[in-house]
């Protein structure tokens, strides 16, 4: 019972983070889950819990969802997901952990140091962000960084950014969950852990949503990205 309890607490925290920011559940959960279970089990488990998170947030943000922003990301993610699934089935767990650790450190460092101003981006960037997010999401259950970088560099307000991320992650989560089930990665053990953790991730998401808009975003992001950078370093050291 210790492992299901620990996993439930991990997803409570992960749901809280994404409930407040619109992203980050897998980036928080994956480094911690790797200490409890194999990465190849953690990936489909994160995907199933992301269904709970994104469905709840989409309902909360339905007024701000804009298909013109979300659809290009979703279309490009489809081929990316198949690339990511192939990568996950062919690469060993240690390599995946190191890759995810590098991803966390790189994205966190970019987010902490970048000072560029938001601007109107060419539509082609949305397709590239969607493809990379699909591939990384299917392989690591942490496909957020490409789309998050794209959204945060665009000249959108806070609600538009969060709604766009939520809409994309909603689509991506359902597609990834289907791909994992068809490929046999979603085992009975994964489903059992999901039943334990789903109520906690929903509670965490609801609490995070209540806090949304009540904190200084810049300071909060600095704390989160510093934490993710440390977690990425820990994953690399552990896998080595």
The pLDDT assigned to 99 comes to 77
How many whole angstroms from its chain centre is CA 152? 15
66: left (phi over 0), alpha (psi -120 to 50) or beta: beta
pLDDT at 164 over 90: yes
Q: Is the pLDDT of residue 37 over 70?
A: yes
119 strand-pairing partners: 154
For the chain, the structural domain boundaries read: 2-239
Q: At residue 230, does pLDDT exceed 70?
A: yes
Q: How confident is the model at residue 59 (pLDDT cuts 50, 70, 90)?
A: very high
Structure tokens at 121: 């981006």
**Is 194 in contact with 48 (CB distance < 8 Å)?**
yes
Query: How far apart are alpha carbons 191 and 74 in whole angstroms?
Result: 26
Cβ burial 180-219 (10 Å sphere, 16+ → b, else e): bbeeebbeeebeebbeebbebbbbbbeebbeebeeeeeee
Q: Identify the burial level of 230 via C-beta atoms within 10 angstroms of its C-beta, where 0-12 means exposed, 13-18 middle and 19 or more buried.
A: middle
Per-residue pLDDT reduced to its tens digit, 123-156: 788 899 999 887 876 666 556 777 877 887 787 7
Q: Tens of pLDDT along 202-213?
A: 999 999 999 887
Return the SS3 of 122.
coil
Contact status, residue 43 vs residue 97, Cβ threshold 8 Å: no
Give the confidence band of 116 by pLDDT, cuts at 50, 70, 90: low
Tell me the HSE value of 37 on the side-chain side, using a 13 A CA sphere: 22
Mean pLDDT of all residues in 88-114:
76
Average pLDDT of 57-75? 91
Tell the burial category of 174 from Cβ atoms under 10 Å away from its Cβ (0-12, 13-18, 19+). middle
């Amino acid at each position: 019972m210790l492992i299901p309890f620990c996993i439930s607490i991990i997803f409570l925290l992960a749901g809280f983070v994404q409930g407040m920011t619109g992203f980050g559940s897998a980036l928080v959960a994956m480094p911690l889950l790797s200490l409890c279970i194999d990465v190849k089990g953690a990936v489909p488990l994160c995907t199933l819990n992301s269904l709970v998170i994104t469905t709840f947030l989409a309902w909360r943000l339905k007024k701000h969802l804009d298909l013109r922003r979300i659809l290009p990301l979703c279309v490009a993610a489809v081929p990316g997901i198949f690339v990511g699934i192939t990568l996950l089935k062919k690469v060993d767990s240690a390599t995946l952990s190191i890759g995810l650790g590098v991803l966390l450190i790189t994205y966190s460092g970019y987010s902490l140091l970048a000072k560029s101003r938001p601007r109107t981006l060419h539509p082609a960037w949305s397709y590239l962000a969607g493809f990379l997010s699909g591939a990384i999401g299917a392989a690591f259950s942490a496909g957020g960084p490409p789309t998050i970088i794209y959204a945060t560099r665009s000249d959108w307000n806070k609600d538009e950014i969060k709604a766009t991320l939520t809409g994309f992650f909603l689509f991506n989560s359902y597609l990834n969950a289907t791909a994992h089930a068809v490929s046999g990665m979603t085992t009975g053990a994964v489903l059992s852990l999901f039943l334990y953790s789903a109520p906690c991730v929903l509670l965490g998401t609801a609490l995070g949503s209540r806090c949304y808009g009540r904190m200084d975003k810049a300071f909060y992001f600095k704390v989160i990205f510093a934490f993710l950078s440390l977690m990425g370093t820990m994953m690399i050291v552990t896998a080595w």
